[in-house]
Amino acid sequence: MPMAAQQDHNELLDRLPRVRGKIRLHADLSKGNWFQVGGPAEILFRPEDEEDLAYFLENKPENLPYMVLGVGSNLIIRDGGIDGVVIRLGRGFVQCHALDSSRIKVGAACLSFNAATIAQQNGIAGLEFLTGIPGSIGGVLRMNGGAYGSEIKDVLVEAYALDPQGKRCVLKPQHLHYRYRHSDFPEGWIFTGALLQGTEGDPEVIAARIDEISKARESTQPIRAKTGGSTFKNPEGHKAWQLIDAAGCRGLSIGGAQISEKHCNFMINTGNAVASDLEKLGEEVIKRVFAHSGVMLEWEIKRVGK
């Protein structure tokens, strides 16, 4: 790293609040996302808990760029990395427990599958669909994640978040204006958890449904590959994978990136892809689908960084 750049990084470190969590300089992000690509974070911050994160937000330098990174399941981190601070929620945000026979309280960093499993263990039905959504609850809340006929808006009682000044806010579903794979959650705010509503059920019946969803995913999706989940949103009246298949893109590749042969709304890193391979491949698919069908696909995967 050039000496001037190192000095700039050190000056930024000196300006950050004195938090209890861990802060790292020039942190590799490529191993922390499902595609396993991307450049480094200028600063990586792992807050100890919600109070630590709130303190950071309240006392951060003015105009400091920051973003939250979950488990990186639906994300392409570009090869130039991410300027400013990347906030990664960890152990202080993974809690999940039942409040009663129909509700669970869950942290933003809790994996969706784990939330469904804990609900099942407590005899709470209606959350099994979370098994079919890769990633953590924070990402599901932000994009109104859904699978197998249900979306998070269908089970959300309230969500908990910190605003850019570190103030804790309680948000009802109507505040988020949920639509298909979209919410109006303000930029700069950070989800920290949620209260989810199910119904009383038989744990064995719920477990059978979770197993059914897991097997369906494994049989139809390349879940054991380096992938990022569904690449494009389903356009109204269409299935994205059908449009991609009809445009002849099944198996299409650029560099180390490939459209899955198993499910062509999934891109995979075959082993040596860089982020630009994946993004170029996605844009090529958009172009070919539009030329074939006149339908413009919209990215579902978020792309961040330089």
Instruction: Please list the active-site residues.
Output: 181, 230, 300
Q: Give CA–CA dist 300/281, Å, rounded.
A: 14
Take residue 155 and report the two structure tokens written for it: 């089970």
Q: Give CA–CA dist 232/135, Å, rounded.
A: 16
The answer for residues whose C-beta is within 8 angstroms of residue 63's C-beta and 6 or more apart is none
**CA separation (Å) from 172 to 70, 155, 201, 302?**
22, 11, 25, 24
Query: Of 242, 239, 264, which Cα lies nearest the Cα of 253?
Result: 264
Q: Give CA–CA dist 90/161, Å, rounded.
A: 15
SS3 139: helix
Contact 74, 139 (CB under 8 A): yes
Q: Give CA–CA dist 11/64, Å, rounded.
A: 13
Q: Give CA–CA dist 186/170, Å, rounded.
A: 13
Angle at 87 between CA 86 and CA 92, to 5 degrees: 160
Q: Give CA–CA dist 295/37, Å, rounded.
A: 29
* Burial class of 63 by CB neighbour count within 10 A (0 to 12, 13 to 18, 19+): exposed
